[in-house]
């Protein structure tokens, strides 16, 4: 996979050179092409922003350098703009994007983009309801979430399958040694070696965690008959705990 990033601060992208994503690049599983769109400015001092028409605070990124930077790319693929007003990024989008050959992200700065920049993109995406100084951190988050789904990036090929959101539920609790930490014991079932029981426990716990922390995800879900039964049990167990 080839990922282009249009940014004024290419030096910010060092986190993607480290750990699994860094190794993935060395192994040729994906490639990061950082493009400073300041290089495409034809104004004195290579400026890329200007004051807003109509007045107001801050500086607005101009459309021309970004258009020229996009035109310079060999393979653009899907073009994504980072902006707080975009649709909120999620795991499903990461899964869809991970099937693309090429992706291009555009990082804003200052007050944001001239409105006409949005017409150059296929999607406008936000990472949440808060405002950052630039699109670099959002872009790195989205690249990380996308690239880690590519084959061979995570050590254990199975690990993305059972994670939070991958099947619409949050992840079940995980434990490792010691089996007893200052009196806090690992649930017996996980030490039992009974894989049927362990799978059932994990499914129950995933449902329970989702019900507690993200009930909105359950509302959207087509529950299996087994999940309906499990949810009934979860409610009964909760009631029993209260009594």
User: What's the closest the beta carbon of residue 6 comes to ligand SAH, in angstroms?
Assistant: 10
Contacting residue, 78, 91, 111, 202, with ligand SAH by CB under 6 A: 111
**What are the start-end ranges of the H helices in the chain?**
19-26, 63-71, 91-97, 136-147, 188-191, 195-213, 215-219, 225-242
Residue 128 within binding range of ligand SAH, rule CB under 6 A: yes
In the complex, what is the shortest distance from the CB of residue 49 to ligand SAH, in angstroms, rounded to a whole number?
Answer: 11
Instruction: Retrieve residue 233's tokens.
Output: 């049990």
Angle at the Cα of 69 (from 93 to 117), degrees rounded to 5?
A: 60
CB count within 10 Å of CB 57 equals 7
Alpha-carbon gap, residue 137 to 133, rounded angstroms: 9
Q: Binding ligand SAH by CB under 6 A: which of 26, 57, 74, 131?
A: 131
Q: How far is the CB of 40 from ligand SAH (least distance, A)?
A: 17
CB-based closest residue to ligand SAH:
108
Q: DSSP character for 42?
A: -
The CA distance from 193 to 199, in Å, is 11
Q: Binding mask 50-89 vs ligand SAH (x if CB under 6 A, - otherwise)?
A: --------------------------------xxxx----
Give the nearest distance from C-beta 20 to ligand SAH in angstroms: 23
Question: Can you give the binding site for ligand SAH, defined by CB under 6 A?
Answer: 82-85, 107-109, 111-113, 126-128, 130-132, 134-135, 138
């Amino acid at each position: 996979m080839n990922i282009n990033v249009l940014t004024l601060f290419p030096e910010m992208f060092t986190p993607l050179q480290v750990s699994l994503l860094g190794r993935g690049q060395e192994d040729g599983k994906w490639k990061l092409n950082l493009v400073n769109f300041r290089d495409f400015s034809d104004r004195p001092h290579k400026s890329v922003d200007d004051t807003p028409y109509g007045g107001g605070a801050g500086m607005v990124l101009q459309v021309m350098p970004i258009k020229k930077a996009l035109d310079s790319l060999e393979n653009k693929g899907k073009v994504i703009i980072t902006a707080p007003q975009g649709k909120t990024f999620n795991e499903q989008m990461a899964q869809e994007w991970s099937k693309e050959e090429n992706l291009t992200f555009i990082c804003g700065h200052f007050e944001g983009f001239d409105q006409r920049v949005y017409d150059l993109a296929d999607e406008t995406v936000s990472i949440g309801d808060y405002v950052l100084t630039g699109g670099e951190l959002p872009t790195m988050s989205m690249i990380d979430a996308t690239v880690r789904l590519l084959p061979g990036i995570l050590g254990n090929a199975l690990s993305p399958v059972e994670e939070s959101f991958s099947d619409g539920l949050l992840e079940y609790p995980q434990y490792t040694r010691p089996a007893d930490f200052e009196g806090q014991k690992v649930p017996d079932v996980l030490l039992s070696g009974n894989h049927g029981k362990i799978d059932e426990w994990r499914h129950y716990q995933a449902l329970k965690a989702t019900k507690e922390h993200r009930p909105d995800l359950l509302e959207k879900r087509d529950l299996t008959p087994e999940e309906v039964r499990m949810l009934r049990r979860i409610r009964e167990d909760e009631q029993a705990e209260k009594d």
